[in-house]
Structure 1
Amino acid sequence: MSEAPDSSDTVFDRLEKLLEFPCDFPLKVMGRRVDGFAQAISDLVREHAPDFDPATMVLKPSSQGAWLSLTVVVRIESRAQLEALYRAVAGHPMVRVVL
């Protein structure tokens, strides 16, 4: 009996077939609108993509103001870099959704 592949690996397999590296990759990150959220995500993104310019990050609060959506566009050099960035952002305790 074989194990089912990790669904995130399948997603990254598909992405790798669609993308040509290096490329500019948009990432949408959502979390509670709390002090430090945008800065924490910006710092985390820069760990994986040092050339990321935080001034390019787009912030959009929800209609009720409880949530904040951040859009970051990152220059990605490889699948490994994309996977590491996605997993780090998705694993951050302030993050609820990453698209």
Structure 2
Amino acid sequence: MTDSTPDNERETLLEFPCEFPIKAFGKKDGDFAKRVFEIIKVHAPELTREDLSARESSGGKYVAVTAQITAHSQSQLDAIYSDLTDSGAVLMSL
């Protein structure tokens, strides 16, 4: 049996719109936070630089960037995670 529920209507525990943190991990370089910002901003145009925070790993080789967005749908979140994964710079995203 196949599920005929459209992607934008599938079940989720989230109630939209909601505040949602997106975290991306990558190697520390001068452009990583900027790249993460630009990827997410395509899908969340209201995102500002003030909505981002960054934290270096204990060894200083990696960085975690967190963007606090207002999520409007599951499909929006799926698109953000897909683009982050496809970027090549992001090693992992949560």
Find runs of 4+ consecutive structure 1 residues off by over 4 angstroms.
Answer: none
Between the aligned partners of 1:54 and 1:44, the Cα distance in structure 2 is 13
2:35 aligned with 1:22: no
Point out where structure 2 has 5 or more consecutive residues left out of the alignment: 2-6
Between the aligned partners of 2:82 and 2:90, the Cα distance in structure 1 is 11
Between the aligned partners of 2:70 and 2:85, the Cα distance in structure 1 is 18
Return the TM-score normalized by structure 1: 0.81
Instruction: Encode CA deviations 1:41-87: one digit per residue, 9 max, x unaligned.
Output: 10111111000112221100011100000111111111111111111
Return the TM-score normalized by structure 2: 0.85
Aligned to 1:6: none
Percent of aligned positions that are identical: 32
Point out where structure 1 has 5 or more consecutive residues left out of the alignment: 3-8
1:23 Cα deviation from its structure 2 partner? 0.8
2:88 aligned with 1:93: yes
Say what the alpha-carbon RMSD is for the aligned residues.
1.7
